Structure 1
Amino acid sequence: MENVAEYSEASELGRVSAVPLSHISVEVGHFLMQDLVNGVDRIQRQFRRIVPLLDAFTRSAQAEFGGRARISTCFLVDDYFRPDTDPGVILDKLLGTAAECGLRIDYLAREAGCADVPEVVRDGIVRTPSIALAEMVRHRIVAEPDQGANGRRPPTAESGWLCNGKRATDQEPGAALHPVQEYRPPEEFGRRGHSIFLDVEMWDHPNPDADVPKWSCPYLAAIWQLLRLGMLRYEGRPPVEPQVWNRQRWPDRWEDLPSVMQLNANAKPFAAYRSLSILPMRYVGIEHAVRVILDHIQLDHEVVEQVVARGRAEDITVSRRVAERLEHHLLAGS
């Protein structure tokens, strides 16, 4: 018999509330806003490739979790870097093409909602306040200490750069005074034989007069993954809860839309034990950066243990390392 403990709204650990969990959250493609502004040919090609893949992954999940496997689908719209577009035009085109291709999208999310969560008001009551989500997660980033560092590299909290290793110049005092030195390659922390070195920019300040960072695509994508895995809390509650969208007309501004909209009334929960992202191959670098960022975010211990315990109650092994709960299928030629 199916265990329904995952639908509990009260935390087993008492301090943090639980969120409903599917077995797998499937991200059904992604486009840059410029792809969505242009014609529908590229959208159709990608969606038509994804439909049979979604069927195959659904059968795989049913083989793993049983015939009643909970699978939800989602799509993230790139409105953070192009807020100047018309939501009605973009979303009618996107969802209309998905319907024509037979692709089910249960939840529609905004990338800007991974940066700042708008206030939610229902029945004249503020249900959840506005939340500076990217800033909140920023304070949970813990860079790995580099023993012997000489201070030449600014700390992550100051620079916005996160590294999975070290460069020789980070440990050589006065290296600039000795230009003729033997080259020493960078070194990945915890490498297995050889290094795969990556330096990720998570934010910058393009406007020096404003104390508002510009968040990078990999950083927002990392927050997107944490939301899909149900791993974030604000004052004990999830910072983003899907809002049922049943209005006939889209607003004129992206910021007037919820961070996550539930389009399918019968959808399984938005968050899940695992995430699967079906993405164009060009996002492989971003997804590598996402995994590095996730490995350096200190999550609430109670939330982690809560999800692990809930998985155990369903005979599902849930890794405490959140990056191990991500899966990807990359589409060549997209």
Structure 2
Amino acid sequence: MTEAAADFRETSADPVTESLPYSHLSLELGHLYMEDFAEGAERLERHFAAVRPWAETARAWTAALPTGNRPRISTCFLIDDYFSRLSTPAELLPVLLEAADRAGLSIDYLARESGCALADPLRPDRTGLAEAVMHRLVESPPPGSNGFRPPVSRTGWLTNGRRAPTRRTSAALDSDGGWQPPRETGARGHSVFVDVELWDDAGERRTWSCAFLAAVWQLTRLGLLRDDGRAVLTPTPWERREFPEDWDALPPLLRLTPHAPPFTAYYTCSVLPTRFLPVEHAVRVVLEQVHVDARAVGQAVGQAEREHLVLPVDVVERTSYLFPPGL
């Protein structure tokens, strides 16, 4: 008779994954650069006037929810305070919110793009979101790859397939193979090959790319990021009428509507100018190669099941976009 082996572990060794509330849909009403804001209130009014009918189209998706589900749709807006700061929150945000209001739109949550990149200065023990997601990247090796290309952690580039081989220095060595085109992994017929720059180290500190920060933004809206089990980028209630003069004095994510549906959602939809289309293609390439916390995914899937919803495990299948003409 053999003894049964026992495995004893400290309960603190497995951090508890904080659960989050979920809306059915996180609807992004825009993402503009500081240069867009510099054009004034009329530019913002044109933006929201163009967004409104498409936002209503996105809301119509909730008609497909199972009977008995009251639609929960939260709206959000991402402001680029990472790449440039041509104005202050005190000057910019009231004009932004008034323009949305005149178009009949309400922004429930307002986020700073720098919040997706930098560590919280009030919590130096926490890693910045972008760096944390970078460490969760798992490159999909294309068929026939030999590991010649350095990993993304060294190069800062991520692709959706096989790159064209680098030309050899010797013409004699080149004669046997010749040029070979890049190839998308899983291409249907013809390839749409994408090579995404995630960051550069040209300045004093690393600069994350717009595409990579947008991928972090999507993961945050889907409620799939944790820091040792703790939720990240949680909304800070903001009911004051005045905004600070300094962006760094503003929390990275504000809840402007007191009783808004949850910021995190089962699905996301972003209404964006057409110039963001290549950026969002790059976002999907990134999302396909992020190893998401399985416990966070399980919580979202389980909560959806309790609402009689079948939620795809694949993160990319939960994201959607609308690119209105002329926006």
Q: Shared fold (TM-score greater than 0.5)? A: yes
Q: Tell me how far apart the structure 1 counterparts of residues 322 and 200 of structure 2 sit (CA, whole Å).
A: 30
Matched, 1:58 2:59: yes
Q: CA deviation at 1:310?
A: 1.3
Determine the structure 2 residue equivalent to 1:43: 44
Q: Tell me how far apart the structure 2 counterparts of residues 63 and 136 of structure 1 sit (CA, whole Å).
A: 35
Q: Tell me how far apart the structure 2 counterparts of residues 256 and 137 of structure 1 sit (CA, whole Å).
A: 25
Q: Tell me how far apart the structure 1 counterparts of residues 298 and 169 of structure 2 sit (CA, whole Å).
A: 47
Determine the structure 2 residue equivalent to 1:327: 320
Q: Which amino acid aligns with 2:117?
A: A
Determine the structure 2 residue equivalent to 1:71: 73
Q: Tell me how far apart the structure 2 counterparts of residues 141 and 86 of structure 1 sit (CA, whole Å).
A: 34
Contact kept, 8 Å, 1:23 with 1:69, in 2: the verdict is yes
Q: CA deviation at 1:154?
A: 2.4
Determine the structure 1 residue equivalent to 2:295: 302
Contact kept, 8 Å, 1:229 with 1:271, in 2: the verdict is yes
Q: Tell me how far apart the structure 2 counterparts of residues 323 and 60 of structure 1 sit (CA, whole Å).
A: 18
Q: Which amino acid aligns with 1:219?
A: F
Determine the structure 2 residue equivalent to 1:136: 132
Count of residues in correspondence between the two structures = 310
What's the CA shift string for 1:146-197, capped at 9, x where partnerless? 4654565322100100011112415xxx723236664321111122222110
Determine the structure 2 residue equivalent to 1:155: 151
Contact kept, 8 Å, 2:215 with 2:283, in 1: the verdict is yes
Local SS of the residue matching 1:269:
coil
Local SS of the residue matching 1:85:
coil
What's the CA shift string for 1:12-42, capped at 9, x where partnerless? x982011110000000122111001222222
Q: CA deviation at 1:54?
A: 2.2
Local SS of the residue matching 1:176:
coil
Local SS of the residue matching 1:29:
strand
Relative to structure 2, which stretch is displaced further, 270-279 or 38-47?
A: 38-47
Determine the structure 2 residue equivalent to 1:107: 109
Q: Tell me how far apart the structure 1 counterparts of residues 192 and 245 of structure 2 sit (CA, whole Å).
A: 44
Contact kept, 8 Å, 1:23 with 1:272, in 2: the verdict is yes
Contact kept, 8 Å, 1:118 with 1:255, in 2: the verdict is no
- Unpaired runs of 5+ residues, structure 2, are 1-13
Q: Tell me how far apart the structure 2 counterparts of residues 65 and 226 of structure 1 sit (CA, whole Å).
A: 25
Q: Which amino acid aligns with 1:327?
A: S
What CA RMSD, in Å, does the superposition of the two structures yield over aligned residues?
A: 2.2
Q: Tell me how far apart the structure 1 counterparts of residues 326 and 39 of structure 2 sit (CA, whole Å).
A: 18
Determine the structure 2 residue equivalent to 1:81: 83
Greater C-alpha Rg: 2
Determine the structure 2 residue equivalent to 1:189: 185
- Give percent identity, aligned residues only: 41
Contact kept, 8 Å, 1:118 with 1:258, in 2: the verdict is no
Q: Which amino acid aligns with 1:22?
A: S
Contact kept, 8 Å, 2:273 with 2:323, in 1: the verdict is yes
Matched, 1:198 2:194: yes
Q: Tell me how far apart the structure 1 counterparts of residues 253 and 127 of structure 2 sit (CA, whole Å).
A: 14
Local SS of the residue matching 1:44:
helix
Q: Tell me how far apart the structure 2 counterparts of residues 235 and 317 of structure 1 sit (CA, whole Å).
A: 27
